[in-house]
Amino acid sequence: MLERSDVRAEAIPAEVLQSTRPVLLRGLVRHWPLVQAAERSDADFCDYLRRFGPDTRLGLWRGGPEIAGRFFYNDDFSGFNFQRETQTFGALLDELLAGTPDALYLGSTEIDSAFPGLGRDNPLPALAGLHPHVSLWLGNRMQVATHFDLPDNIACVVSGRRRFTLFPPDQVANLYIGPLDLTPAGQPVSLVDVTKPDLERFPRYAQALEQVQTFELLPGDALFIPSQWWHSVQALEPISGLVNFWWRQSPAFMDTPLNTLMMALLSLRDLPPAQRDAWRALFDHYIFDADEETAAHIPPGGRGILAPMNDDSARQLRSMLLNRLKR
């Protein structure tokens, strides 16, 4: 486990922001007014948040007491064990303070658009040049299934305790990932409950546990989660808040590789083995092992989509692909 307590919000070193392993940053945002309010009381925390739009209507998830805070699929995987609804921010805060028996989850709500001024009062200056996407997450005791995110992430706990359970990207085969096309929030999730894994049903999960990293964060602590690290998040208190910062180390014109995975399922997976091997060689040559020599034998003006990508060429390639998919 990598843990540091010497990192300041004004200057997060490159070895953290470019790390390929999670890094716990103790006390990174303890100075935030949002955290200071939470350390006084849950009521002060909610009162502070009310200043930023109590009448704003927001989408949230609600599950009954029977789900025990675990937002997941229903029994036959035809849908989910929770409902999506819209509520004012003030009403959500009231319900959390009242101690509702339901599991409530306000996920990934963009701060600048939904809560004007909240981000300005609680900044992370070290990330300003990365232009991160900043979101608020709020709820009571609940659990989000193990998943990965494409961007790098700094997750800052602002209220309550949170437990993060993380696995390296290469553990995907041991995590028993669910459907790719029906997902709770866009990303595929592990079917294993991290709080009580069923090793009879999911025996390879024991191998994943050999690589697991677990972090428990207090208000003011932050966790750097590298791109594509699988992680489950448990909120351990009746009122639990988090602010996270997402950014990518790749150009904005790049599409999500999940689209490529979907296309590969359509076009590659069911080929005869010899043809799959031939395509594996092509992908290694043009994608995974590509370097400046890959197209060096072609005159620069004739390299087409093999030339370095930019906004214009990405637009042209996307248009070409869309036209081909319409056939």
- C-alpha distance across the termini of the chain, in Å: 51
- Residue 104, CA distances (Å) to 55, 78, 141, 144, 164 in order: 18, 21, 8, 12, 19
As a whole number of angstroms, the distance between CA 79 and CA 56 comes to 28
Answer yes or no: is pLDDT of 78 > 90.
yes
Share of the chain above pLDDT 70, in %: 100
Q: Are 96 and 239 in contact (CB under 8 A)?
A: yes
- Which residue reads 């009242």 in tokens? 98
- Which residue reads 């609940």 in tokens? 142
Which tokens go with 163? 């437990």
DSSP conformation class of 175:
S
pLDDT in tens, 174-225: 999 999 999 999 899 999 999 999 999 999 999 999 999 999 999 999 999 9
Q: Where are the beta strands (DSSP E) in 65-219?
A: 70-71, 83-88, 103-110, 133-139, 142-147, 152-159, 162-167, 213-217
pLDDT in tens, 100-148: 999 999 999 999 999 999 999 999 999 999 999 999 999 999 999 999 9
> What pLDDT was estimated at residue 229?
98
pLDDT in tens, 257-313: 999 999 999 999 999 999 999 999 999 999 999 999 999 999 999 999 899 999 999
Answer yes or no: is pLDDT of 1 > 80.
no
Domain spans of the chain, in order of start: 2-247, 257-325
Q: Are 153 and 224 in contact (CB under 8 A)?
A: yes
pLDDT in tens, 310-325: 999 999 999 988 898 8
As a whole number of angstroms, the distance between CA 175 and CA 169 comes to 10
CATH number among 2.60.120.650, 3.40.50.800, 3.40.50.20, 2.40.37.10, domain 2-247: 2.60.120.650
Measured in whole angstroms, how far is the alpha carbon of residue 75 from the centre of its chain? Answer: 25
State the average pLDDT over residues 168-172: 98
- Residue 202, CA distances (Å) to 129, 177, 208 in order: 43, 11, 11
pLDDT in tens, 35-69: 999 999 999 999 999 999 999 999 999 999 999 99
Q: Which residues pair with 159 in a beta bridge?
A: 241
> What pLDDT was estimated at residue 166?
98
- Prediction pTM value: 0.93
